[in-house]
Amino acid sequence: MKKSSKVIKKYIRYSVYIALLLVLINIAAAFIGIWKMQNELLNLEKTAKNLAKELSLSGVEWKMSQDGVKILDETFEWGMLLDEEGTIIWKSNSLPKELDKSYSASQVAAFSRWYLDEYPITSWEKEDNLLVLGGKQNSIWKIQMNASYFLQKYLVIWSVLILAINIFIAILIAYLLAKRSANNIEPIIEGILSLETKKELKLNTKGSLEEVAKSLNNISLALSENEAFRKNWIEGVSHDIRTPLSIVLARADAIEHTKETSEDIQLQAASIKYQSLKIKELVRNLNMESALTSNENVYELKEVNVVRLFKEETINLLNYSVSDQYHINFLLPSKAAEYVILGNKELLIRMFDNILNNAIYHNPQGCEIKISFEKNGDKILITISDNGVGMSQKEFKLLQSEKERTNRNLLGEKHGLGMHIVQQIVDIHKGRIFYENEEKGGLCVHLFL
Amino acid sequence: MSQIYEYKILLVDDEKEIVEIEENILRKEGFSKVYKAHTCEEAWKVMQSVKADVAILDVMLPDGDGYLLFQKIKWIADIPILFLTAKDQDYEKLIGLGMGADDYITKPFMPQELVLRIKSILRRTYTTNSKESEWKPIFNLSNCEVNLNTGIVYNEDKQDVLTAKEYEILETLYANRGRIVSSDLICEKVWHDNPYGYENTLMVTIRRLRTKIEKDPSSPKSLITVKGLGYKLLVDEDKRE
């Protein structure tokens, strides 16, 4: 729902913007229109006023100056001056014949602000007379407005209210539309997001996005099948390889420890054993990698005392698998009981084994491995260092790229899977890991958990 | 039964070569009574005719899984059982979640590991669990002979009686002789409690114990401290088992 409510919010925000923009445009257009029209009317009146000035009485006859005639022709069709009785005392040449008559007071009152024979009229008082100007037919729309004071009073409030209703309707429509499309899109979005987990997806394939939903379902099916196949394949292969590997290991060990075999053959048997052990670790790591990358496994984190856990594992390794040329110096911290983190025992042991194995495989001639612990607040620093050959620049780069996740295809590389898994386990525990070469030689691994 | 090599071992695995290898490893080590089976049915028959003292089971068998066989064997005889598994994820199933397996080994295994684990399981079951069994071991250390029946340490010129705690420590170490035993484990066994808080008491008790079993307690030859981890008892195996 989170994702779609985001979509809805966005929709609504944009529709509000659009509604507001429309309202603004409307208001602006209305203002501009009214202003322009008003201006035009004002201009007419102004012209009428000016024309009135151009009229002058010469003797008993009224006359319009040349400029006046010019202006009149430009703006109006015709013009006439009526005296108090409604008799024409001056007229332009263009005055239509049918209008050339005298007018009663009631007629004057009727047309003065209205139409005369479909000519819109503009009038202006000239002394006691009335200058009547006929505009071009159909040029001006005159309406009579009789409004109560009530309307005038509430006009502003009404306009505001109507605007508000407009905005509200715009938002409502936007919301409903957004909600509708979100309802359609939501399962699709969630489907896409859940593709990452590689679990099989079952979207409802009805509705407007039917095709998309169908194809998502198919993709997820293919992905989950692929994932299951990969997992089973790795599990199967690693399971099946173990029995023959046991036989190889045991046979090589038997050859190595048979007194009659020559030293050369013993060495070769030892080499077979050593390489078989490497395959064993590889298989374990491959399995672990598969388990870690499949999202089905959610690792439960419980309180673990890492000192105790690694101590037991060190003892286990010393008792059963690490040969005598490796000396492990376990520096037990004081207050060991306090070294508790939230972790997964199985994963932590795997991580610890892999770090130790890394030291062991890099130093086949043997070395001393030192394990120490420090506590700072609730952070624990575990340092595992050896006095062996250390790491080459190239290997450093590999580990670094492992940390930065820039290179995921490390399977064939020397540090490859083992340290890759270490990194993944460190990540699961939200810890950090650093590597450095010791000055005296050897590798030092700092582990913050 | 004083001789650890006298115990009867049942090996069950559908892979014949694995069984053969296990047998070779164990016979070479000195175990003489080794019985083999490749299916649940065969294993069941062997169990009924020869009551084995310990069994090594494969988890996957052609006619059923090892877990079922495990339950059946445990039902008729309370013997220690060690699983041989080809999966890493079996720990929880076998030990953690109370299946009650005594130990497990993941394939591929080193021959030495098989031997060590079998011996360890036998000693744990048949020698330390000695409240029930009458006989308790007598063994030689570099400087003395220890008789766990009487709790007496015989030196060249003197005899010392072990205190209860010293006795329990020595018994625990002897059951795991040649291997490191964590100080936590010793504390748990001896004080039946959270191991923290007993470290100093353990150190003091070990120091006292050394005055009884070592010629020179400040440079011990039998009861070795493995710094940071625990202790290890070195026994002269050749003289007596």
Where in chain A are the domains? 1-195, 196-298, 299-448
Q: Which amino acid is at B83?
A: F
Largest CA distance in chain A: 158
- Helix H or strand E segment including A367: strand A367-376
Quick check: A12 and A175 in contact, CB under 8 A?
yes
pLDDT in tens, B82-133: 888 887 766 656 665 566 788 888 888 888 888 888 988 888 788 655 445 5
Task: Encode pLDDT of B68-92 as tens digits.
Answer: 888 888 888 888 898 888 877 666 5
3-class SS letters over chain B: CCCHHHCCEEEECCCHHHHHHHHHHHHHHCCCCEEEECCHHHHHHHHHHCCCCEEEEECEECCEEHHHHHHHHHHHCCCCEEEEECCCCHHHHHHHCCCCCCEEEECCCCHHHHHHHHHHHHHHHHHHCCCCCCCCCEEECCCCEEECCCCEEECCCCEEECCHHHHHHHHHHHHCCCCEEEHHHHHHHHHCCCCCCCHHHHHHHHHHHHHHHCCCCCCCCCEEEECCCEEEECCCCCCCC
- Indicate if the pLDDT at residue B195 is higher than 50: yes
Assigned token pair, B86 = 């080809």
CATH code that applies to domain B4-128: 3.40.50.2300
Chain A nearest CA to B65, separation (Å): 15
What pLDDT was estimated at residue A311?
A: 92
CB contacts of A330 in chain B (<8 Å) are 227-229
Q: Would you list the domain boundaries of chain B?
A: 4-128, 138-233
Per-residue burial over B86-108, b = 16 or more CB atoms within 10 Å of its CB, e = otherwise: bbbebbebbeeeebebbbbbbbb
**How far is CA A42 from each of CA A39, A141, A194, rounded to the nearest angstrom?**
5, 14, 69
Cβ distance A284 to B181 less than 8 Å, yes or no, reads no
Q: Greater confidence, A151 or B154?
A: B154
Give the Cα separation of A70 and A92 in Å (integer). 11
Question: Which pLDDT score, from 0 to 100, does residue A306 have?
Answer: 92
Note the residue count of chain B: 241
Average pLDDT, chain B: 84
Q: Are the Cβ atoms of A248 and B182 closer than 8 angstroms?
A: no
Q: A362 and chain B: CB distance < 8 Å anywhere?
A: no
Q: Which residue of A242, A278, A369 is the best one to mutate when testing the B interface, meaning the one whose CB has the most B CBs within 10 A? A: A242
Helix, coil or strand: residue A380:
strand
Q: What local confidence, expressed as pLDDT, does residue A405 receive?
A: 56
- The mean pLDDT value for B227-231 works out to 90
| CA gap A220, A200 in Å, rounded | 5
pLDDT of residue A410: 45
pLDDT at A352: 94
pLDDT of res. A223: 84
Confidence (pLDDT) at A4: 60
Contact A319 B15 (CB under 8 A): no
- Do B42 and B88 meet the contact criterion of CB atoms below 8 Å apart? no
Contact B90, B67 (CB under 8 A): no
A276, A298, B18, B50 from A440: Cα distances, Å = 31, 41, 45, 60
At B89 the pLDDT is 65
**Which of B18, B117, B184 is facing A246, going by the closest CB pair?**
B18
Nearest by CB to A321, from B113, B184, B228: name it: B113
Residue of A nearest to B105 (CA): A320
Nearest Cα neighbor of B115 from B178, B55, B26, B7 is B26
Tokens of A118: 């479909």
Q: Same topology for domains B4-128 and B138-233, yes or no?
A: no
Other Cβ atoms closer than 10 A to A334: 9
The structure tokens listed for A130 are 């009335």
State which residues of chain A have pLDDT below 50.
1, 406-407, 410-414
pLDDT for the residue numbered B233: 92
Selected from 1.20.120, 1.10.3470, 1.10.287, 2.60.40, the CATH number assigned to the domain covering A196-298 reads: 1.10.287
Cα B83 from Cα B102, distance rounded (Å) = 8
Size of interface A-B (CB pairs under 8 A): 90
For chain A, give the mean pLDDT.
82
Residues 6+ apart with CB under 8 A from A46: none
For residue B241, pLDDT over 50 is answered with no
Mutation target for A interface from B16, B180, B186: give the one with most A CBs within 10 A.
B180
Alpha carbon distance A17, A15 (integer Å): 5
Selecting from A243, A276, A332 the residue whose C-beta is nearest the C-beta of B86 gives A243
Show Cβ contacts of residue A269 under 8 Å, excluding neighbours closer than 6 positions.
A252, A253, A255, A256, A261
Write down the pLDDT at residue B26: 92
Is the minimum CB–CB distance between A329 and chain B shorter than 8 Å?
Answer: yes
Q: For chain A, positions 246-275, list CB contacts with chain B under 8 A.
A: 246-251, 253-254
**What percent of chain A has pLDDT above 90?**
10
Identify the CATH number of the domain defined by range A299-448.
3.30.565.10
CATH topology of domain B138-233: Arc Repressor Mutant, subunit A (1.10.10)
| Contact residues on chain A for B111, CB-CB shorter than 8 A | 249-250, 253-254
Instruction: Out of B25, B181, B228, name the one closest to residue A250 (CB).
Output: B25
What's residue A101's pLDDT? Answer: 83
Instruction: With CB atoms and an 8 Å threshold, state whether A248 touches B108.
Output: yes
Report CB contact under 8 Å: A315, B181: yes
Task: Give residue A411's pLDDT.
Answer: 46
What tens digit of pLDDT does each residue of A29-48 get?
888 888 887 787 778 888 88
Question: Contact, A213 vs A188, CB < 8 A?
Answer: yes
Q: Are B70 and B63 in contact (CB under 8 A)?
A: no
Q: Which of B20, B104, B107, B177 to mutate to test the interface with A (most CBs of A within 10 A)?
A: B107
